Structure formats: structure tokens, C-alpha cells
């Protein structure tokens, strides 16, 4: 039954979220993040930096998932 499967999927996702939240809480205090230093390190290591954008044809669309 579709409804039962959706309910089980939701419970699985909720369990994964709870687990991730607990891991985050147990990981300790956050440290300051310097974006400029991060980029400079990557440039020194020769890594290509991208904006993280994708062409429209490759951009995920949540609406399509439910269609």
C-alpha cells in the first residue's frame, strides 16, 4: 500500500535526521570558519573552485520528484 510505504519512508527519514542531529550535538563546539583562507588553501593545492551552480538542465527540481 502506498500510504504505508510513505509512512515508513517518513519514519526512516526522521530517524536519520535525529541521528544526524545527535552526531552534530556530540561533535563539540563549532570553530570559526574563514572562507577566504579556505579558498586560498584550495588555490594553493591547485584545486579548481566553482560556484556550485549547475546548468538549468542539470539542476534538480523537487516538483519533478512528485510528478
Confidence of residue 67 (pLDDT cuts 50, 70, 90): very low
Q: Which of 2-6, 8-12, 34-38 has the lowest mean pLDDT?
A: 2-6
Could you report the per-residue pLDDT of 18-51, keeping only the tens digit for each? Answer: 999 999 999 999 899 999 999 999 888 887 666 5
Q: How many helices (H) and strands (E) does the chain have?
A: 3, 0
User: Is-above-0.75 flag for pTM?
Assistant: no
User: Looking at residue 3, what is its pLDDT?
Assistant: 85
Residue 58 gets which letter from DSSP?
G
Interatomic CA distance for residues 14 and 20, integer angstroms: 10
Amino acid at each position: 500500500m502506498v500510504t504505508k510505504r510513505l509512512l515508513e519512508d517518513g519514519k526512516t527519514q526522521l530517524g536519520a535526521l535525529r541521528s544526524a542531529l545527535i552526531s552534530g550535538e556530540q561533535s563539540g563546539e563549532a570553530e570559526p570558519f574563514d572562507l577566504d583562507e579556505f579558498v586560498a588553501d584550495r588555490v594553493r593545492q591547485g584545486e579548481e573552485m566553482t560556484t556550485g551552480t549547475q546548468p538549468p538542465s542539470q539542476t534538480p527540481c523537487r516538483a519533478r520528484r512528485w510528478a
